[in-house]
Structure 1
């Protein structure tokens, strides 16, 4: 398995709180203030090797990301499955709420979507194995460690994944500027999956055809589209809002 470095105090702290294997923790020499002491304490309680390193070495590990004086060496991210995501919803006695990302290429977008999804109680995220961003150091950092608490399934084919979800009685809603309905005019209750398309091309033709509904976000400015993670956030929290109102 390949190795990678998770950097930044928040991502490393969330990593240490999870049950994921951490091979080694690197702490910048002399940097022992604030949350770094909490990180060291958890690492010691888990018997993780702690090694001091100079700033230059940490800069190299961070690969351009802000490391805040700490880096954790881990093995590859362990992807989940669609069945495990559905089981998670069942164990909570909740309708499945899943996000499908159709060829999202920017790791910053992926990380931001993971962070929003985790905060909103999404049960899992589905991404394709090809032509899409994978979970890496940048995703860990951008998600503030939320990837450690989110099930992410890495599938061969998004269309086939949608078919599997439909067999499990989920309704599929695709975000598309050509959609007939505004997202706030349609019910997003029950077992659902939201599909967010590629940053430039949007939803692929086959995926669009698989969706039960195509919904849109109103655009009244001079720019005709939102960033993928911003669009995802709006739709995710509309689902949260509708479910909250249903329970009142």
Structure 2
């Protein structure tokens, strides 16, 4: 049976509609008459999407989360092939930027990373088939719908991905608080694969050894480490800062 996922809340559902992904049903609270609800009704009609106007208690039965009066039921995302995606990015004549997530299992962290990655122009996120966060309604909510709009590659062997990325001309930069070098001391103005590890386990030794450079975020306070999604956002900001610096 094909897996389904729920996008709940105004922004995630609007993102779902804009993505042109296959949508099974949209549940809209029937007593809501706002500009965004009219937009959802119009787009659902144009795309022949099954729109159900339901009472609030029906939505509450579908989820305990803050649905804001609207829930979208869609097919689970289609995972992309890394090699095909990388070739497509090179064909556009731009520097590829990919992010590999090593053993990040918290769905909210994963969703937040996807949100930052999509906003900062990452071409694709690579996750392992095992020891990775589920892509479910909680992750979509945490990403504010960004999961729907970013390419995700799910791979059996992360080491193989890193080797293929390097063979294709990408530099591999791992982000670890154990590094002696700050991330802003590393040249990021090149085709790049960034590696982010989990808060508990960090990045595996094998992936660290395959990396071209390892950098850390400088910590000025007493806190020893940062949340993985916060760290990803800071590193992506540094990447974009360097791209815009002569």
In 2, Cα distance between the equivalents of 1:80 and 1:65? 29
Deviation at 1:223, TM superposition (A): 1.5
1:16 maps to which residue? Answer: 17
**1:25 aligns to 2:7 (yes or no):** no
Alignment match, 1:217 = 217
Alignment check: 8 A CA contact 2:120 2:236 kept: yes
Question: Superposed, which structure 2 residues align to 1:186-201 within 5 Å?
Answer: 186-201=186-201
**Superposition CA RMSD, Å:** 1.3
Instruction: Give the Cα separation in 1 of the matches to 2:93 and 2:232.
Output: 24
* Cα pair 2:79 2:152 within 8 Å, conserved: yes
- TM-score, length basis structure 1: 0.94
CA deviation map 1:106-155 (0-9, x unaligned): 11111111111111111111011111103211121111111222100011
Kindly tell me the number of residue pairs found equivalent between the two proteins.
245
List runs of 5+ in structure 1 lacking aligned partners.
Answer: none
Query: What secondary structure does 2:87 align onto?
Result: helix
- Matched residue of 1:73: which SS? strand
- 1:10-42 CA deviation, whole Å, 9 max, x = no partner? 111111111211011111121222312111111
SS of residue paired to 2:131: coil
Of 83-92 and 23-32, deviating more is: 83-92
Q: Identify the residue that residue 207 of structure 2 maps to in structure 1.
A: 207
CA contact (8 A) 2:186 2:213 kept: no
Structure 2 partner of 1:54 = 55
- Pairing of 1:56-71 with structure 2 (within 5 A): 56-62=57-63, 64-71=64-71
Contact 2:171/2:212 (<8 A) preserved: yes
User: Relative to structure 1, is the Cα distance of residues 169 and 123 closer, same or farther in structure 2, using a 3 angstrom cutoff?
Assistant: same
Once the two structures are superposed, the pairs formed by residues 95-174 of structure 1 within 5 Å of their partners are: 95-174=95-174
SS in 1 for 2:28: strand
CA displacement at 1:51 relative to structure 2:
0.7
Q: Which ranges in structure 2 are unaligned for 5 or more consecutive residues? A: none
Runs of 4+ in structure 1 off by over 3 angstroms are none
User: 1:192: how far off?
Assistant: 0.7
